[in-house]
Structure 1
Amino acid sequence: MTLTIEKTDVKKQAILAKNAARTLSMLTTAQKNKALHILADHLEGNYEYILEQNEKDLERGRGKGFEAAFMDRLSLSKERIKDFADGLRQVAELDDPTGKIVSDWTLENQLQVQKVTVPLGVIGMIYEARPNVTVDATGLALKSGNAIVLKGGSNAITSNKAIVDVMHEALEKTDIPKEAVQFINTTDREATSQLFTMKEYIDVLIPRGGGALINAVVNHATVPVLETGVGNCHIYIDKEAQVEKALNILINAKTDRPAVCNAAETVILHEDWFNENKHAFVEKLKEFNVSIHGDASVVEAIQDAKLAGEEDWANEYLSLDIAVKVVSSLDEAVDHIEQYGTKHSEAIVTENHDTAKKFMMLVDAAALYHNASTRFTDGGALGFGAEIGISTQKLHARGPMGLPSLTTIKYMMHGTGQTR
């Protein structure tokens, strides 16, 4: 039976996605992979149109005086379009997460039981100004057999609509119904609020963006939420940290891409290490134009350091700013992370493996690192392909969410007439 369409446009789009999800769930891996390659080719072939539409968003952003980091996330180029087209091709090469028999057994009455992975159904994706998310989320949803309803941020609406228009043209040449990809083309917040309560049609919501967006979804949605989190990530440099190693890890985590969620925002220094290596620490941060917001001991010891307030310890700067805290013990570092961390990614730099083990057991986060940068909290970097977001919750999925996170399970029983 096909669902009927009525009332609001958002509900209409959700129903279209629900109906398309049935068709999509029956397609073979080969059909889905072929479609992803066609999508990738079509995006690359229409890059000029996409860039032309992207420029309209950039022009509005410049007029509003958006910061450089925000404009970088919003900006597209021929190379970036090629990158996310290549991302679709990479997703096509990944294992299909659906139809896997997780376990099977036979009961005493010879009833055969199978636990099998299946698509979630319809994913509602609510995100801010990163047009690449439109492509990444769509590719992951389609490969895992899910339809998707996209609600991007208002600042990227022209770019996102152009990308979806191109993808719809491409889907006309595939076995995937174009209705499986829905884009809510409005800046009206009421449309987003409607998505929150469409349990009949949307199986899961995934918010991706700043804390205000994520909190709004988590606090108001009646649809189940796969919660992604902001990244107030910490690096704790222990008293037994090797100096060059510690500074290289810190600089990579802070400056490689400051505007992403796995960048370090706070560095916690053991006082013994800080007192011994203060000059090298300051010179390294100056070399990379990093601004220091520190506690009283840091401000006293470092010229030009700004005194950190409560907001600095909780802040996801997404810029070349860093909060610096000096502590007297590992336990004090763990307590600070417990109070201000967002359960995203946390790192310790130390040559003492017992200290590292204690840190990794005590700190509650999706990703923990010993002697490595937090920048590896990424589906591609960890070796399982693209991601739809970083989950900081503990139910169903945690950490980078790749294809397996977009499935659920069914128990399928095969009998010969058994009754109970």
Structure 2
Amino acid sequence: MELRELCSRAKEAKYEVQNLTTEQKNDALLFVAQELVRNGDKIIAANAIDVKKGQDNGMHPGLVDRLLLNEKRIEGIAEGLRQVAELPDPIGEVLEEFERPVGLKLKKVRVPLGVIGIIYESRPNVTADAFALTFKAGNAVVLKGGSDAINSNIAIANVMRDALKAKGITPDAIQLIEDTDRAVTSEFMKMNEYVDVLIPRGGAGLIRSAVENSTIPVIETGSGNCHIYVDKEADLDKAIPIIINAKTQRIGVCNAAESLIVHEDIRDKFLPLFAKAMNEHNVEVRADEGAKSYIDGAKDATEEDFGKEYLDYIISVKTVKDVDEAIVHINKYNTGHSEAIITENMETAQRFLDRVDAACVYVNASTRFTDGFEFGFGAEIGISTQKLHARGPMGLRELTSYKYQIYGEGQIRG
């Protein structure tokens, strides 16, 4: 289907979707979840084609992990849809109501954004997550996945479109752009006649391209150069498991820790423990001069290392004299995503919480919790690192706008 027609159909579909009842939307979501699981073998077979192609082309293991689907992950996708169905419907919520001296009564009411365009890379679960959230929030969605996952995305989208049709709902509520030509992506960014909001979800290059070239308003979901600061008053028994989890549980995700910051007063005690843990998990350590001598096999950290999202078994290490230096370092090099402090001093923790400029700031917990599912949103459309409209994991409310409804009794303006 030609791109303009596809987007036009989505625009037509949005008027049907925004008028669906909560019960209709929830019933459709539960049926889609059921159908994804029932068709799991077909989806996995399509995904296997993408995975093999990626491996044959030398795709990084972290990106292969992002791409891979199996029975467990498909069930996880379906569970995300079920959780979205259970969430309160934000549409129609009255945010504010008041009356003006002339007798006009005003209501500020939550409404859908309309047509949401999403450009993403090799994460086929986004196809289902994006549909679930946009649909529950009363929107139509146009999806442009990467070529790496095209077979997986087509299989998932076809299951969802068929499920909607079976429920008597327009399948055009979800549109997938199947053409993988980059020129089509650039053309899609100019479809502001049909698409109300564009959300790029992927690496820094994709996000920068959308921000610089789109004529559609963009919500940035940025990369994650996430830090963990181990304070001089940290409980080291907490610190090591948190760092292992944040760094190694899944290396190819934006909420993985990429950099460790350590108070110089505990480096002799803590860094050997840290080095042992990283060695056991095959993580390469790149350290500054203040840390390198305490870590066997560490390489020299460069300026580039401190600002890099590795998405790999690599971590940088920086030593600091106090929490203020840690905060300055983080605010210089971070991407506004997720930052953590490990300390038993709650005054220090609060200073860190207040002064670190990021969407999510943790005390004594892994950065891996920055996730719509973990925040109770059911799924997420992405993690916004900007400050306008939405910030952090984007759930249902972040996919809505509002309008004013004004009730009068014949008033005219003097």
Distance 2:375 2:178 in 1: 34
Q: Which amino acid aligns with 1:81?
A: I
CA contact (8 A) 1:230 1:316 kept: yes
Equivalent residue, structure 2, for 1:398: 391
CA contact (8 A) 2:271 2:291 kept: no
The match for 2:326 among 333, 342, 349 is 333
CA contact (8 A) 2:62 2:311 kept: yes
Q: Which amino acid aligns with 2:407?
A: H
CA contact (8 A) 1:35 1:175 kept: no
Distance 1:136 1:63 in 2: 28
Deviation at 1:57, TM superposition (A): 0.8
Q: How many residues align?
A: 413
* SS at 1:172 equivalent: helix
Distance 2:312 2:207 in 1: 20
1:71 lines up with 2:64 in the alignment:
yes
Greater shift in the superposed pair: 389-398 or 104-113: 104-113
Q: Any stretches of 5+ residues in structure 2 without a counterpart? A: none
Q: Any stretches of 5+ residues in structure 1 without a counterpart? A: 1-7
Greater shift in the superposed pair: 97-106 or 281-290: 281-290
The match for 1:312 among 305, 314, 331 is 305
Q: Which amino acid aligns with 1:49?
A: K
The match for 2:293 among 275, 278, 300 is 300
Equivalent residue, structure 2, for 1:345: 338
**Over aligned residues, Cα RMSD in angstroms?**
1.3
Equivalent residue, structure 1, for 2:265: 272
Correspondences of 1:200-211 after superposition (within 5 Å) = 200-211=193-204
Distance 1:328 1:402 in 2: 38
1:215 lines up with 2:208 in the alignment:
yes
Distance 1:351 1:96 in 2: 39
CA contact (8 A) 2:199 2:220 kept: yes
User: TM-score scaled by structure 1?
Assistant: 0.96
CA contact (8 A) 1:270 1:327 kept: yes
Equivalent residue, structure 1, for 2:169: 176
Distance 1:146 1:298 in 2: 51
Distance 1:385 1:83 in 2: 10
Deviation at 1:319, TM superposition (A): 2.0
Equivalent residue, structure 2, for 1:3: none
1:114 lines up with 2:114 in the alignment:
no
User: TM-score scaled by structure 2?
Assistant: 0.97
Deviation at 1:16, TM superposition (A): 0.5
Distance 2:131 2:222 in 1: 20
Distance 1:98 1:22 in 2: 14
Distance 1:410 1:178 in 2: 27
CA contact (8 A) 1:31 1:175 kept: no
Distance 1:386 1:78 in 2: 18
* SS at 1:325 equivalent: strand
Deviation at 1:19, TM superposition (A): 0.6
The match for 2:9 among 16, 20, 45 is 16
Distance 1:57 1:374 in 2: 29
CA contact (8 A) 1:294 1:323 kept: yes
Deviation at 1:125, TM superposition (A): 0.4
The match for 1:95 among 75, 88, 91 is 88
* SS at 2:166 equivalent: coil
